[in-house]
Structure 1
Amino acid sequence: MEKIFTNSTVLIIPGLRDHVEEHWQTLLEARLEKVRSVPPAETDKLNCANRVARIQAELEKIEGPVILVAHSAGVLMTIHWATQHQHNIQGALLVAPPDLSQSWPDNYPSPDALKMEGWSPLPNQKLSFPSIVVASTNDHLAQFDAVQQMAKVWGSQLVNAGAVGHLNPAAGFGPWPMAEQLIAQLDVQHVKSAQNSSLSV
C-alpha cells in the first residue's frame, strides 16, 4: 500500500467508541506516513477532561506542525482542547460534530450524563487555527443547520458532504477519499505559510 506523505503530522482523534476497525479514520491512519492517534481511554471513558488530557499528551510527543483529524465526539474534545491549550496546529478537519442540545438515540449518552462529565456547555469561540467542518444532511446526531452554526462560530470552512449519515461504518464509511483531499488542502496552507515566512525574512 502506497503511503500518503504530508508536511504536517496528522493526529487522529476518534469519537467515544475510540478505534473502530472499519472506520475511515482507522483506514486513513494506516495510509499516512506522518501520523499519530490518540489512544483509547481505558478509564473514565465518558469524562471530557480525561479525553482532552489524552489529546494534549499525544501532542506533546509531536514536533512540528500538526493537522488534527477528529470525528463525532472527537470534534467536541478538540473544541474543548483548543480553549485550554496551545500547540503548533496547522489546521483541523472536524467531521460530523454531534449537537449537544439535540436528543440522541437511546444507545448514546444522555444530555444530562454528558453535562455531568463536562461536555457541555461547549466553548463558543473562534478557533485559533484554520479548520474545515464536514456536515451531513441526515446525521441522526445533529441537524445540518446546527453544524452550520458551529462552523460559523469556530470560523471554519463548511463542507456539505450530502446525505452520508454520521460518516461512520454504520453509514458505509469505510474508505472516505474526501478526507485525504481535505487534509491535503490544510497541508498546502502549511507550505504556503512556510514560503511566505521565508519571503518576509
Structure 2
Amino acid sequence: MTTAHPKSVCVFCGSRFGTNPAYKAAAHETGTAIAQNGWRLVYGAGDVGLMGEVANATQAAGGEVFGVIPVHLFEREVGKRDLSSFIITENMHERKKVMFMNCDAIVVLPGGAGSLDEFFEVLTWRQLGLHDKPIYLLNTDGYWDKLVALTQHVVDEGFADASMLDFMRVVDKPQDIAADLQDLWR
C-alpha cells in the first residue's frame, strides 16, 4: 500500500538572502502559504538563505517538507535534517530530477545561477511537452523583470514560439501563487 502525498510545490531559490529584505519576507510567506494550504514543500534541503527561510516557515506553519540535497553541498548549504523526508543525491542533476518528479508545481523565488539553471531546465522540459506542471516566477520587487524581458527577446528574435511565455506565470506575491494553485487544484 502506498501513502498518498498532498499536492507538492517545488521551490527553487537562493542559498543566500540577497540584498533586499523583501526576498526573505517573500520566502517566509511562500513557506507559510504552502503549509496553510495543506501542500508539501519540495526544495533543495538547505538550511541557509532563502532555502532555509522557506523550509523553516513551512515547518513553523505545520507543513510537510521534502528536501533533496547532493552530497557535495551537504555541508556548504547546511543540509537540514529535521524534515519530513530527506534525500541525499550523488549530484546536481539527480537532485533536480528528484525534486521535479516529486512535485506538482514549481515556484522560482529570487536566486542566482542555480535557480536560473533550475528554472530554464523545467521551462525547457515544458516547452518540449515533457510535463504540464505550472511554473511560477515570484517577481518580488521586480527581481525577475530582466529575465522576463530576456524570454520575450528570445521569442521576438525567433528562437522560441510565443507559447513559451505562457508556460511561466509571473506573479508579485506568494498569495497570488496560492490563489492560482487553489483554482487549478480544485
Structure showing the higher helix proportion among its residues: 2
Same structural fold, with TM-score higher than 0.5 when normalized by the shorter chain: no
TM-score normalised to structure 2 length: 0.45
TM-score normalised to structure 1 length: 0.42
